[in-house]
Chain A
């Protein structure tokens, strides 16, 4: 961090100075809204400014009205990355579990590679839209409302479609277990 600050020009240093003075509270607000924790929000602001310094030349070349939106995109995504690193979210169709650390719980430990591979095969043979729906829901954590917007269907239809796919996979999985 300090190395960066030493090698940037006086002009660039002044630019970061102004940016910090005018927007650090906005960036902190953005980070706190996502992370809900003072230390993590502070870490996010620090990381945001690191990235801003790192991409200073690019930012300075942008038109004036685009510079702050660019930094806001950095602040949001940096905060979300910190959140992802700290929280593990497990989605089911009825409940969402959030745990505070990423260490494997007792249930995770018993996940069998064989089961994962079986489900992977099933997911990969789904029609492309069903596969995308699962990826958006279980990898990208989208709500059914967002999925509905992206698939041009209602939230209820998206949820029903998601449940139908999961039920189908669950049924096939149980059939596989019975055969074992």
Chain B
């Protein structure tokens, strides 16, 4: 048996073994004591959830956040034996938290961990898959005949981009409650914890201690002092705790500047297959990287978290970053 044949045989054997595991789980009636997780364990669990196979991430979100029934989950994920798969996933998650085989994770803890994981998951999806205008085929339009907007030609990308930005902010805010912001913990100086996942990285402010000079009203006074000449302000969005400025030029190039109050919610960026480099912006610590023709720069300044994403390259991004200041 050569290597390729061996691996194909192994794959078949693993599939049969897995199907049997799921079948047995489906009919299993073992009852386990459920345990409540503490806050650290819940955050760890959220990280483990994001490492699961994609259909299992969906399975957990559908069950614990959207409270879908098994028939709905089967239809959406195209898998059968939901209970069997759920037992398999939950056993893996218990094992990953070094919990005993005799216990299961309490439903409330699973719900909270899923709520921490969901915005990170959505953030990584949006970061890795930007909206694309597509001229749908006649067949597609015919199939979606009664959806009028499916019959129209694609409109400008920017309209959608704005709405996606709004939606993204809304879900971050809506789901951030489990990572409660404690204003008493804010500080003038803080450091970042950088977590790198397979497809994205998150930047979380840690050791944040209180300072009277940080508020959303003050954050709103910050904007770039320099923007290349041919760019105009396309959109400004200010929803506590963040502000976003979008600039575009006639060639379709763009600059996005984002400012955010430091809290325990993460800023998420697509960093797959890239190397993150430390950088200093006028003495303030930050990180930068390049991916798919886009340049990313995140840094801390005056107690706030700032980021720039542009297709103009490093020099322009750094020049804009160095020009960020409060209008007061």
Binding stretch for chain A, among B31-39, B121-129, B211-219, B246-254: B121-129
| Interface size of B in residues (CB-CB distance below 8 Å) | 78
User: 23 A-B contacts, Cβ less than 8 Å apart?
Assistant: A2-B146, A21-B149, A26-B160, A32-B129, A46-B140, A64-B170, A66-B66, A69-B65, A69-B122, A73-B76, A81-B77, A90-B4, A97-B4, A111-B5, A115-B1, A119-B12, A145-B198, A147-B51, A150-B92, A150-B93, A152-B96, A170-B6, A173-B6
B144, CB-defined interface residue at 8 Å? yes
A residues 65-88 in Cβ contact with B at 8 Å: 65-66, 68-70, 72-74, 76-77, 80-81
Nearest Cβ distance between residue B62 and chain A, in whole angstroms?
Answer: 7
A135 and B21 contacting across the interface, CB-CB below 8 Å: yes
B residues 125-162 in Cβ contact with A at 8 Å: 125-126, 128-134, 136-137, 140, 143-150, 154, 157, 160
Nearest Cβ distance between residue B293 and chain A, in whole angstroms?
Answer: 15
B61, CB-defined interface residue at 8 Å? yes
Nearest Cβ distance between residue A117 and chain B, in whole angstroms?
Answer: 8
A107, CB-defined interface residue at 8 Å? yes
B52, CB-defined interface residue at 8 Å? yes
B53, CB-defined interface residue at 8 Å? yes
A25 and B154 contacting across the interface, CB-CB below 8 Å: yes
User: A80 contacts which chain B residues (CB < 8 A)?
Assistant: 54-55
Where chain A touches its partner, the secondary structure class is helix
Residues of A within 8 A of B (CB): 1-2, 5-6, 13, 16-17, 20-26, 28-30, 32-34, 38-39, 41-42, 45-46, 49, 51, 54-55, 58, 62-66, 68-70, 72-74, 76-77, 80-81, 90-92, 97, 107-108, 110-112, 115-117, 119-120, 122-124, 129, 131-132, 134-143, 145-147, 149-152, 166, 169-170, 173-174, 177
- Name 5 extra pairs, CB < 8 A, besides A69-B122, A123-B10, A135-B21: A20-B147, A51-B76, A122-B13, A123-B17, A142-B51
B184, CB-defined interface residue at 8 Å? no
B8 and A107 contacting across the interface, CB-CB below 8 Å: yes
Residues of B within 8 A of A (CB): 1-18, 20-21, 47-48, 51-56, 58, 61-62, 65-66, 68, 72, 75-78, 92-93, 95-96, 98, 118, 122, 125-126, 128-134, 136-137, 140, 143-150, 154, 157, 160, 163-164, 167, 170-171, 173-175, 198
Contact status of A136 and B53, CB under 8 A, knowing A55-B75, A70-B66: yes
